A and B are shown apart, each in its own frame.
Chain A
Amino acid sequence: MINVTINKKAIELDVDPQMPLLYALRDELQLTGTKFGCGAGQCGACTVHLNGQAIRSCITPISAVANQKITTIEGLDEHNNDKVQIAWREYKVPQCGYCQSGQIMSASALLAKTANPSDKQIDDFMQGNICRCGTYKRIKAAIKSAANSEPSANETLVKENR
């Protein structure tokens, strides 16, 4: 039995200790907001928070997070109104939307660490999250909006053109 706190709920899981957290969330707990993208920690679609830090759940064995706190997209905010989610809606970031749970979880972890990230800090932190639809420009604008930092002229344009 592995004990883990997921979205503030104590959970007891009877699974292979080597099972990546991703599959425990999706298959065992029906928390399907966290996505499979590569299975190798290369795309960030599976990003969740471990004690507030962004981790790739597809390469994190469930045993490695025993007795720790996991937050998934479903638990980010009770009303789905985390400042990152609000900004994501405001900038209409998603296209297909599949990678966006991971993007949002990464962005939220970034802002927890760096309240007003620079372009470079955003690039560095978000580099592990792929969006094949190419929503990066809006991701960057939304992160700045959530951080209450000044968007660039080009990013303002996105908002005005909406």
Chain B
Amino acid sequence: MTAIENVSRRNFIKAAGITSGGFILGINLPLSAKTLDPAKAAASTLNFFVSIAIDGIVSIVCHRSEMGQGIRTSVPQIIADELGANWDKVNVVQAKADAKYGSQGTAGSASIRSHFTTIRQMGAIARDMLEQAAASIWQVDKSAVKAGNHVVTHSATGQQISFAELAPHAAKLTPPDAKNVTLKNTKDFSLIGKDVSLTDLNEIVAGQATYAQDIQLPNMLIATIVRPPVVGGKVLSFDASQAKKIKGVVDVIALKPRSIPVATNPLSGVAVLATNTWAALEGRKKLTVEWDLGANSTHSSESHKQALVKKVNQQGSVAAHKGDIYTHQYQSENTLEATYTVPYNNHSPMETPAATAIVTDEKCTIWAGTQNPQWAQGIVATELGYSQEEHHKIELNITLMGGAFGRKSKADFIVEAVELAKATKRPVKVIWSREDDIQHGYYQSIAANYHKAELTASGSADFWISRVAYPPIGWLWNADLKSPQPNDLALGFGDIPFALNNLSLETQESESYVRPGWLRSVACINNGFALGSFVDELAVKANLSTRQMWLNLLGDDRHVNPSENNYEYSNYNLAMTEHPLDTKRMKSLINLICDKAEVEKPLPKNQGWGISFLRSFGSFVAAATKVEVTNNKVTVLAMHTAIDCGIVVTPDRVTAQMEGAMIMGLSIALMGEISVKDGVVEQSNFHDAPVTRIHQVPELYVHIVQSDAPPGGVGEPGVPPIIPSITNAIYHASNIRIRDLPVNKVLTV
């Protein structure tokens, strides 16, 4: 633990900051927050490592995965703040998959909102040890010294000792219990809330950052896989003779057959392995495969959508209720009902999935960009027949991800690499083509939402029925599952925050035919679109501004408790006390967005503003969009997002996430659609599965609310309110109401 070496920073970094530092701190902490990880991290302890080299460079481990959200800046930034370190002396070390870190599942916008305190404690424990070491040297009480600016200062005399000098002394101390260390007052934060240099910026701009696609190993084979065109399909036979004639093709291998439930297993298929990418792709073109397409080959997304629409227009299973809806006589002139649908959507990260593996008799080494390292590790262990105790034999190195948006939570592409590396006894890199990514994704579910409500005399609404039906993600593991589960319903459905006396929240069943998955904000996409649209429609019917309708529906300042409606509400696994559904914060955000965007200012006849709001992942987000509709063409002119996510760690990255969420919301609203015919995805590349391009981008404005509240999520909550803000704007510009996404079905975009 205390071995000191005088190493240069370069060597120190090379050594991953763990073995050659002067001060190595391993801390065991109980994991205070539950996680959204389906994998339920095997261990319940969190070990975080802070080490200080002899030259004072502090190495801080980032145990979460980077996909563009900036977590490799924000996590070390929090630790450095509590530690009292200077940011320019911080070196970030990426953790490998290891249960000792506690949850590494980078999903659900959870890294900071669920782990803020434990991450801070990592820094605070190290700071406490440095302060104790300095106090011992000066023979004063620890309360007389203070760490900051990379030194510990004796308050009375102003004497200072550097972290570098203190490190060897501190390393001899027993780390204090996390519960016994004091965290900083928020007003004393030195780094949290300030913009620091971004961890990977220089490497990215120089083209030197390493993504999973970039891994190169001696003797490595590149594999490309032809997968069954239909989920559940199987290889009947294949002819590799022509493929093997391509120079560079080394082998053609049928992957293990897989069946439903598909879990996060590979889809099977046939792999072409070659010494270079081009040969693998050329070999693939020459490969012929005969498929048994299976039962899902009758699936049509269009008829499935119609079936869902029919279902949500019928009474469903009650998930939550209050008062009495069904004996009420609705007054038709004051009653509104509407059905909203969204299609399948794909993540389409710019970096398609890729993973590299080496499998020997002794161990398995993997390089992958994964949002969920330990989950992948466990799945690979099962695949290789390793016991729980043998997980350490799977070394999973985490690269940067070239975008993920939920796609890279799934380990299928990693297992493919492992399977092929085991079969060939050579390092294998599996690469997905864009066509593979678009046609074999884990799609955001096709969904139908239904709302019905009656306007009240006071300009609000009551007797509200809300229904939803979509293929639930749990189908991946349980093929009999047909309805969203209580946890799914927490995503913008069961947490309807309105002051209603009579409410019925219902689900309907849906079959599943393709792999559903988590896409940035998940069911908040369909639920947020439906709710945000319906509020706008109610406002129109009541002849009120949409702002006023939101304010009226939200009602008095209060903390909404969805569990009062006989529904077990999980609040994104956050404590209701720390993260209440505070209608005051909701209303102030709606007012903020309307005021900032000046949405009530008169506009030319063919222009309109649309607004919406959703609280999700612990954060409150409102959006406003201005569009122009001319000759059935919609042009988006401006978009605003206002977020109240409590304490902000890295303001510029919150801004960046909101900018990105506006663009992704724009993609989903205007053109996002994956359609399926005869069980096969109809799109194949960016020409027919388009995403937003630069010429479609309006002026973007981000408004961040200053707050001392516990931090909420940032990666996802920007997306849901954007989508209905766009379609509402289209209505106000043109009287065309879009209830069926995407917009480009009826308007040119």
- List of A residues within 8 angstroms of B205 by Cβ: 80, 85, 88-89, 93-94, 100, 104
| A131 CA / B277 CA spacing, docked (Å) | 24
Residue of B with least CB distance to A105? B207
| Interface residue ranges of B667-709 to A (CB < 8 Å) | 685-687, 691-695, 697, 699-702
Q: B685 touching A137 by the CB < 8 A rule?
A: no
Over the window 135-162 of chain A, the binary record of Cβ atoms lying under 8 Å from chain B Cβ atoms (1 yes, 0 no) is 1111110000000000010100110011
Residue of B with least CB distance to A85? B205
| A104 CA / B352 CA spacing, docked (Å) | 20
Cβ-defined partner of B660 (8 Å) among A19, A74, A88, A95: A95
Does A65 belong to the interface (CB within 8 Å)? Answer: no
The minimal Cβ–Cβ distance linking B225 to chain A, given in whole angstroms, is: 15
Total contacting residues, chain B, CB less than 8 A:
68
- List of A residues within 8 angstroms of B701 by Cβ: 154, 157
Q: A96 touching B403 by the CB < 8 A rule?
A: yes
| Interface residue ranges of A56-87 to B (CB < 8 Å) | 72-74, 80, 85
Residue of A with least CB distance to B404? A96
The minimal Cβ–Cβ distance linking B368 to chain A, given in whole angstroms, is: 15
| Interface residue ranges of A107-152 to B (CB < 8 Å) | 122-124, 126-127, 129-140, 152
A135-B656 contact given A39-B433, A95-B70, A96-B402, CB 8 Å threshold: yes
- List of A residues within 8 angstroms of B402 by Cβ: 35, 96-99
Over the window 643-673 of chain B, the binary record of Cβ atoms lying under 8 Å from chain A Cβ atoms (1 yes, 0 no) is 0000000011001110111111000000000
Q: A98 touching B211 by the CB < 8 A rule?
A: yes
The minimal Cβ–Cβ distance linking A142 to chain B, given in whole angstroms, is: 10
- List of B residues within 8 angstroms of A18 by Cβ: 278
Cβ-defined partner of A96 (8 Å) among B348, B349, B434: B349
Residue of A with least CB distance to B695? A123
Cβ-defined partner of A40 (8 Å) among B210, B405, B434, B697: B434
- List of A residues within 8 angstroms of B350 by Cβ: 35, 37, 43, 45, 96, 98-99, 130-133
| Interface residue ranges of B211-225 to A (CB < 8 Å) | 211, 213-214, 216, 222
The minimal Cβ–Cβ distance linking A129 to chain B, given in whole angstroms, is: 7
| A152 CA / B282 CA spacing, docked (Å) | 47
* B16-24, B194-202, B323-331, B388-396: which lies at the interface: B194-202
| A140 CA / B694 CA spacing, docked (Å) | 8
- List of B residues within 8 angstroms of A136 by Cβ: 663, 692-694, 697
Does A53 belong to the interface (CB within 8 Å)? Answer: no
Total contacting residues, chain A, CB less than 8 A:
63
Residue of B with least CB distance to A86? B205
Q: A42 touching B660 by the CB < 8 A rule?
A: no
Q: B403 touching A98 by the CB < 8 A rule?
A: yes
Does B236 belong to the interface (CB within 8 Å)? Answer: no
Interface of A is mostly: loop
Q: A34 touching B349 by the CB < 8 A rule?
A: no
Cβ-defined partner of A38 (8 Å) among B211, B403, B686: B686
| A157 CA / B699 CA spacing, docked (Å) | 11
Most buried by A among B211, B686, B687: B686
Residue of B with least CB distance to A76? B207
Residue of B with least CB distance to A124? B695
- List of A residues within 8 angstroms of B652 by Cβ: 92, 161-162
- List of B residues within 8 angstroms of A36 by Cβ: 213, 277, 352, 431
Residue of A with least CB distance to B351? A98
- List of A residues within 8 angstroms of B694 by Cβ: 122-123, 126-127, 129, 131, 136, 139-140
Does A16 belong to the interface (CB within 8 Å)? Answer: yes
| A100 CA / B656 CA spacing, docked (Å) | 15
Q: A154 touching B699 by the CB < 8 A rule?
A: yes
| A47 CA / B278 CA spacing, docked (Å) | 18
The minimal Cβ–Cβ distance linking B79 to chain A, given in whole angstroms, is: 21
| A39 CA / B433 CA spacing, docked (Å) | 7
The minimal Cβ–Cβ distance linking B126 to chain A, given in whole angstroms, is: 28
Most buried by A among B276, B348, B651: B276
Does B279 belong to the interface (CB within 8 Å)? Answer: yes
Residue of B with least CB distance to A161? B655
Q: B656 touching A161 by the CB < 8 A rule?
A: no
- List of A residues within 8 angstroms of B66 by Cβ: 96
Does B545 belong to the interface (CB within 8 Å)? Answer: no
- List of B residues within 8 angstroms of A99 by Cβ: 350, 402
Q: B276 touching A28 by the CB < 8 A rule?
A: yes
- List of A residues within 8 angstroms of B685 by Cβ: 38-40, 42
- List of B residues within 8 angstroms of A30 by Cβ: 216
Over the window 419-443 of chain B, the binary record of Cβ atoms lying under 8 Å from chain A Cβ atoms (1 yes, 0 no) is 0000000000001011000000000
Q: A132 touching B247 by the CB < 8 A rule?
A: no
Q: B276 touching A97 by the CB < 8 A rule?
A: no
The minimal Cβ–Cβ distance linking A89 to chain B, given in whole angstroms, is: 6
Q: B695 touching A23 by the CB < 8 A rule?
A: no
- List of B residues within 8 angstroms of A94 by Cβ: 68, 198, 200-201, 204-205
- List of B residues within 8 angstroms of A129 by Cβ: 694
- List of B residues within 8 angstroms of A32 by Cβ: 207, 210, 213-214, 216
A137-B697 contact given A35-B402, A98-B351, A130-B691, CB 8 Å threshold: yes
Cβ-defined partner of B695 (8 Å) among A85, A127, A135, A137: A127
- List of A residues within 8 angstroms of B112 by Cβ: none
Q: B201 touching A92 by the CB < 8 A rule?
A: yes
| A23 CA / B431 CA spacing, docked (Å) | 13
Does B160 belong to the interface (CB within 8 Å)? Answer: no
Does A26 belong to the interface (CB within 8 Å)? Answer: yes
Does B400 belong to the interface (CB within 8 Å)? Answer: yes
A97-B209 contact given A16-B279, A28-B276, CB 8 Å threshold: yes
- List of A residues within 8 angstroms of B216 by Cβ: 27, 30, 32
The minimal Cβ–Cβ distance linking B203 to chain A, given in whole angstroms, is: 8
Residue of A with least CB distance to B639? A137
Does A52 belong to the interface (CB within 8 Å)? Answer: no
Does B729 belong to the interface (CB within 8 Å)? Answer: no
Over the window 52-71 of chain B, the binary record of Cβ atoms lying under 8 Å from chain A Cβ atoms (1 yes, 0 no) is 00000000000000111110
Does B159 belong to the interface (CB within 8 Å)? Answer: no
Q: B403 touching A133 by the CB < 8 A rule?
A: yes
Over the window 298-338 of chain B, the binary record of Cβ atoms lying under 8 Å from chain A Cβ atoms (1 yes, 0 no) is 00000000000000000000000000000000000000000
Does B457 belong to the interface (CB within 8 Å)? Answer: no
| A89 CA / B569 CA spacing, docked (Å) | 43
Q: A35 touching B213 by the CB < 8 A rule?
A: yes
The minimal Cβ–Cβ distance linking A55 to chain B, given in whole angstroms, is: 16
Q: B206 touching A20 by the CB < 8 A rule?
A: no
| A88 CA / B202 CA spacing, docked (Å) | 9
| A30 CA / B220 CA spacing, docked (Å) | 13
Q: A89 touching B659 by the CB < 8 A rule?
A: no
Q: B207 touching A73 by the CB < 8 A rule?
A: yes
Q: B201 touching A96 by the CB < 8 A rule?
A: no
Does B208 belong to the interface (CB within 8 Å)? Answer: yes
Q: Beyond the given A16-B278, A94-B204, A132-B403, please list 13 additional residue pairs across the A-B interface where CB-CB is below 8 A.
A: A19-B276, A23-B278, A27-B278, A32-B210, A35-B213, A36-B213, A36-B431, A37-B352, A40-B434, A74-B207, A96-B351, A99-B402, A135-B660
A-B CB proximity, top 3 nearest: A33-B207, A134-B663, A98-B402
What are 7 A-B residue pairs whose CB atoms fall within 8 Å in the complex?
Answer: A16-B247, A92-B201, A94-B200, A94-B205, A97-B402, A101-B207, A134-B661
Give residues in A with beta carbon < 8 Å to B: 15-16, 18-20, 23, 26-28, 30, 32-40, 42-43, 45, 72-74, 80, 85, 88-89, 92-101, 104, 122-124, 126-127, 129-140, 152, 154, 157-158, 161-162
